[in-house]
Structures are given as C-alpha cells and as structure tokens.
Amino acid sequence: MAEDNKFTELKSTLIKAKQPGADDAAKADNKRDSKGRAYATGRRKESVARVWIKPGTGKITVNGRDEAVYFARPVLRMILRQPLIAAGRDGQFDVVVTVNGGGLSGQAGAVRHGISRALVNYEPTLRPVLKPGGFLTRDPRAVNARNMAGRRRAAASNSPSANRAYQKRERRGAIRAVFLCAVMKAQTAGFTVGSNTGGGGPKALSPASPGWHQK
C-alpha cells in the first residue's frame, strides 16, 4: 500500500514537471534569435521590408540610414512608428530595416507592417493590442494592373487603338468648337445660320438681308 502511494506521488510530480508555467509558455511563443532579436517581414503594394527589433533606445535605421534621413517627410516617420506608439513601446526598441521596391509611401507602410509583426514575435502578449488597429494585416490596396499601360491585363482604354480613337474624338471636338466660334462671330456681324446644303457638312451661313454682300 505504501509503495502504491509513493508511485502515485511520483507520477503526479512528473506530470506537474511536464506542464509549463505561464512564463515558460510565453518564452516558448516568442520568436527571438540568439542575440535577443525578433524578425518579421512587412509588405505594402510593391514594397517589402525586413525588420529586426531588439531592446534599445528607440533608434530606427532604414537601409543603413537614420529614419529622418531616409524618410524626410514627418508623416512617413509617423506612419512607421504607429505600432510602437499603440503598443506603448516607443523608445524601447532599436529597429533595423532593409526595404526595397515601390515608393516611399509604400515602403513606410511595409516598415510599419514589419514592425508590428516583429513586436508580436518578440512579445506575443501585444497581439490583442495591435490586431484591432489593423497593424498586423497587410493593406490590401495595390496598384491596379488594369490601369497600367503595357501590362498583360491592361485595360482596353490604354490600348493603342483606344488612344487613336480618343485622339480622333479630341480633334472632332476641337473642329466643332472652332466652327461654333465662327458661327457666333457671323451672327454678331449680322449673319444667320441657314439650313444644310446637302450631305453631312456644316451648315451654311446666309445673310440677314438681301443686300448683305453689297459694299
């Protein structure tokens, strides 16, 4: 009987030892490398940002340059710092970024996306804070291929034949405008617009009085 009790106690001790605590679970969920950094990739339009974060003084380096040099516009710097501010971690992490593709606006969005995902990888408890703000979701807006001439799926409005038709309409509109100006000037000078002389040509001008042609 005593041996059975000892076996039961030993079994319960082993089970408890196998169950990780809350701290152990948090450590298992985070994704940090041997240097204590967390890595993530962010995307926006055609831009891709690779982001590393680690505890520091809040310095952000983008492609080997300070954020204020690379993103000269304050609004772009505000965009990439939004997840740090929302999580209450601004000034607590050093961020190293390599980003390429797209324009500066798209790159700033990609960096923000990468920083958000890196924060969650470093500290999983921040996910409920960043998720509602949309920081962890890639912005689905992108350049529409149908609006880019030369692409395989470019819209018909950008095709050469469509451009020629557009130019033809523009020329017709210009000719019509010139003709209307001539009619208005003729009416101001005392002439009236007569009926068509046949065919599809412009209307002929007729004199306001029989003696209009006399000197």
Sign of the four-CA dihedral 140, 37, 82, 79: negative
pTM: 0.57
Residue range 26-53: mean pLDDT, rounded: 86
What Å distances lie between residue 110 and 58, 130, 201, CA to CA?
19, 15, 59
**Tokens encoding 207:** 């004199």
pLDDT at residue 107, as a whole number: 95
Sign of CA dihedral 106, 47, 65, 87: positive
SS3 22: helix
| Residues 83/112, Cβ–Cβ less than 8 Å | yes
Backbone angles phi, psi at 80, to 5 degrees: -75, -20
Residue with tokens 């617009």: 193
Report the CATH fold assignment for 28-140.
Ribosomal Protein S5; domain 2 (3.30.230)
109-149 pLDDT tens trace:
999 999 999 999 999 999 999 999 999 988 777 665 555 55
Higher-confidence residue of 9 and 7: namely: 9
Mean pLDDT of 150-179: 65
Q: Span 64-75, mean pLDDT?
A: 95
Q: Note the pLDDT of residue 11.
A: 46
Domain residue spans of the chain:
28-140
Residue 33 has what pLDDT? 83
User: Binning pLDDT at 50, 70 and 90, where does residue 159 land?
Assistant: low
CA angle 81, 135, 116 (to 5 degrees): 60
Mean pLDDT of 191-201: 50
Nearest by Cα to 88 from 57, 117, 126: 126
For residue 213, what are the CA distances in angstroms to 44, 184, 185, 189, 191? Answer: 72, 19, 17, 12, 11
